Chains A and B, each alone.
Chain A
Amino acid sequence: MIYRYFPNQLKTAALAIAIGAALTGCIGATDHSEQIANQRLELARVAYAQAKADPQVEAYSLRTLLSAEKSLQEAEQVHEEVYAAKSTGSYGNIDSSKKKVLLNDLSRLAYISERKSQTSVALAEGVVARDEIVKLGRERAEVQLLKSQMEQQLLQQDLAAKVADLELARQQLTTATNETERARIIADIQAQEAALAKAEAYAEAREADGARALAVEQARAAVQAKTEAQAQTREAEKAKAELALLLTEMSELQGQLTDRGIVLTIGDVLFATGKSDLNASAQRSMGKLADFLEKKPNRNLLVEGHTDNVGDILYNQGLSEQRAEAVKFAMVNRGIAPERIVTIGYGKNYPLANNNDAIGKQQNRRVEAIILNEGVLPASQFRD
């Protein structure tokens, strides 16, 4: 037992047992390690549900969330194994060492799942916080600039007033005849000149401050540019994660990331020979693809039909168009708006492999469903 090495965790475990038992009303019906494992599983379920409900997690740390889900599923399987025996009355017959192993495994898997769920949330929150820092940096630079501009205006206002006073004093000096009065005005002029020089020096210093602030702002802009580049990398990671998610659900299809988006290849074997009917296996994938498109309303679908070089041009053109249409039909049947999907048949014009052997021909007979990047219109992505 790991708790032998963690006296403090024993306290936590004891608390967990009390809460778990109170929640389930199972005091006395289950033993100590079983209660700990159950409590741990419950915590993992809660952590996963919280992570799953957070849209930022799906956007920025999907891969970690999927990993948490996998561990949770494994934990649930072990849990079922333990309780299947209990429900059939053979629980007492489980060898105590086997039961211990199962409960330890349940506890371990649940812990891993909980931590991964927490990690997925932390990763997503980190992305959001860093994006916020970029925005706040911009806002701070703006308000500092505003303050600086206002201060400059006030300084200029003050300087203009001092210059006007000085000019007035000089005019008074030209008209003054009394020696005492002239001496007073001269002293006044000298004092005003000193004040003006001081104010001008201060204004120059503030201008230098402004230049430094500008340099800081330029450095901040450089950091922002770097952050934005990182954000683009994250978007690329997100696209990869989306592809991974799609492909785990659509094992019949091949997929790859391209500049245009995610390209899913529906191979010839998923159509009836020489026809455009999708077989049962392909229909399952179409369901998954429709689910994906429903969740991503800003992404459109371009469906391209391709054939090998066997048969005449008209036949190949017709078949490629019909097969692309079959995919669109399958999507529309599942509730995807038809205006989001554009089909095109290219016949034998764009082979993937050479048409010299059966393998190459089979590779060329395909439909490519391109899940376009957000906001991209399908018609803008036709081949030349």
Chain B
Amino acid sequence: MKKNKVSRYLLIGLATLGLGLAGGCATKDTVSSRFPALQDNISAAKAAEAEVYAPASLKAAEAKLEAARLAVQAKDMVTANTLVDKAMVDADYARAEAPTVKAKNEAKVMRQAIQKVRAEIALLPAVN
């Protein structure tokens, strides 16, 4: 009987400790340390002219970073972590997309320039 009582207290104690640890883990700020790396990634995307050539994915990353900051303030670390994960891949995409769009535009301009020169050649009088 006494043994059962001890076991019950032990169980309650362990459960309380477990809940305490779980609660602590859920609200402890493990996300803010990830912000600088994310900010660097966003800056790298901007350096690749993402504001001009990949604005949607860049804005998606910035908005998620801001939302993650709010989530940290609200002590919602699970959501904050998720947002940082997603913002990271948004910024990666912006970094890849921007130079690609820029290169495609450049290629288009070059094709048009070549077409123009060819048309000018066609208008030149024949050489004797």
B86-128 at interface with A (beta carbon < 8 Å): 86, 89-90, 92-93, 96-97, 99-100, 103-104, 106-107, 110-111, 113-114, 117-118, 120-121, 124-125, 127-128
Q: Does B71 contact A (CB under 8 A)?
A: yes
Q: Is the CB of B103 within 8 A of A130?
A: yes
A138-156 at interface with B (beta carbon < 8 Å): 139-140, 143-144, 146-147, 150-151, 153-154
Q: Is the CB of B114 within 8 A of A139?
A: yes
Q: Is the CB of A125 within 8 A of B79?
A: no
Contacting residue for B110 out of A6, A119, A133, CB 8 A: A133
Using a Cβ–Cβ cut-off of 8 Å, how many residues does chain A contribute to the interface with B?
Answer: 35
Q: Does A377 contact B (CB under 8 A)?
A: no
Q: How far is the CA of A133 from the CA of B99 in the complex (A)?
A: 13
Chain B residues positioned under 8 Å from A130 (CB to CB): 103
Q: Is the CB of B100 within 8 A of A125?
A: yes
Known A-B contacts A115-B93, A119-B89, A153-B127; A125 and B83 likewise in contact (beta carbons under 8 Å): no
Nearest neighbor of B70 in chain A, beta-carbon distance: A5
Q: How far is the CA of A288 from the CA of B103 in the complex (A)?
A: 37
Q: Is the CB of A2 within 8 A of B67?
A: yes
Known A-B contacts A2-B82, A133-B107, A140-B113; A122 and B71 likewise in contact (beta carbons under 8 Å): no
**Contact count A vs B, C-beta below 8 Å:** 96
Q: Is the CB of B85 within 8 A of A157?
A: no
Q: Is the CB of B124 within 8 A of A136?
A: no
Query: Taking each of B66, B78, B82, B89, which has the highest tally of chain A beta carbons within 10 Å of its own beta carbon?
Result: B89
Q: Is the CB of A143 within 8 A of B86?
A: no
Q: Does B11 contact A (CB under 8 A)?
A: no
Contacting residue for B124 out of A1, A118, A147, CB 8 A: A147
Known A-B contacts A133-B110, A139-B114, A140-B110; A108 and B82 likewise in contact (beta carbons under 8 Å): yes
Q: Is the CB of A147 within 8 A of B110?
A: no
Q: Does A48 contact B (CB under 8 A)?
A: no
B38-97 at interface with A (beta carbon < 8 Å): 63-64, 66-67, 70-71, 78-79, 82-83, 85-86, 89-90, 92-93, 96-97
Q: How far is the CA of A157 from the CA of B111 in the complex (A)?
A: 31
Q: Does A116 contact B (CB under 8 A)?
A: yes
Contacting residue for A6 out of B63, B82, B118, CB 8 A: B63
